[in-house]
Amino acid sequence: MKIYLSGAITKNDSYFREFYEAEKKLRNKGFDVFNPIDYQFNSYYEYLRFDLANLLTCDYIYYVNDTISSKGAFVETIVAEAVGIKELKEEDIDLISDSIKNLGEEKKQLLEEVLIKDNKAMRKAGCSLAEASLEVIRNYDGIHRLSLEVANWAKVVANEGRRDELYGSEKEK
């Protein structure tokens, strides 16, 4: 599973240490980690565009430090929520890591395939929702389209994990 590190960088003297400690901790638990401070750009906007593109390739977002004062972390949070990327919370790190380690190879592969499909479906639904929201801003008649996309997004989220495909639907039991 790929984790995106998010947090305050600008006006934070300890960001370098905080981000690398978080990366080390997560890598030691078996996660693949995208650390945005590994890259340098000429402007804040180039940096943010690059980071957001990489955020979309991740399964979870992990908050390294206080994100309230960070404009970039705020934008990353909004994008992550819009496309269905969940927060990896401190209390869940060991649980997820141990669960993955204890699975057999076949089940790990199945879990990874399900997660990839889920993430793609949730991201696609989230992107459609974002596009519909922009349409509403541009054109009041877009409200109908927005309501359809919200309904579709909710349907995708409700079927998260493809429970009906993996375990059979309630009708079959």
Beta bridge pairs of residue 63 = 6
Confidence band for 74, pLDDT divided at 50, 70 and 90: confident
DSSP states along 32-59: EEE-GGG---SSHHHHHHHHHHHHTT-S
Domain ranges of the chain: 2-97, 104-167
Confidence (pLDDT) at 25: 92
Confidence band for 81, pLDDT divided at 50, 70 and 90: confident
SS3 68: coil
Count CB-CB contacts under 10 A for residue 154. 12
Arch. (CATH architecture) of 2-97: 3-Layer(aba) Sandwich (3.40)
Confidence band (pLDDT; 50, 70, 90) for 22? very high
Does the pLDDT at position 170 exceed 60?
no
Burial 62-99 (b: 16+ CB within 10 A, else e): bbbbebeebebbeebbebbebbbbeebeeeebeebbee
Residue 12 pLDDT? 84
pTM score: 0.60
Q: What's the pLDDT score for residue 69?
A: 76
Q: How confident is the model at residue 173 (pLDDT cuts 50, 70, 90)?
A: very low
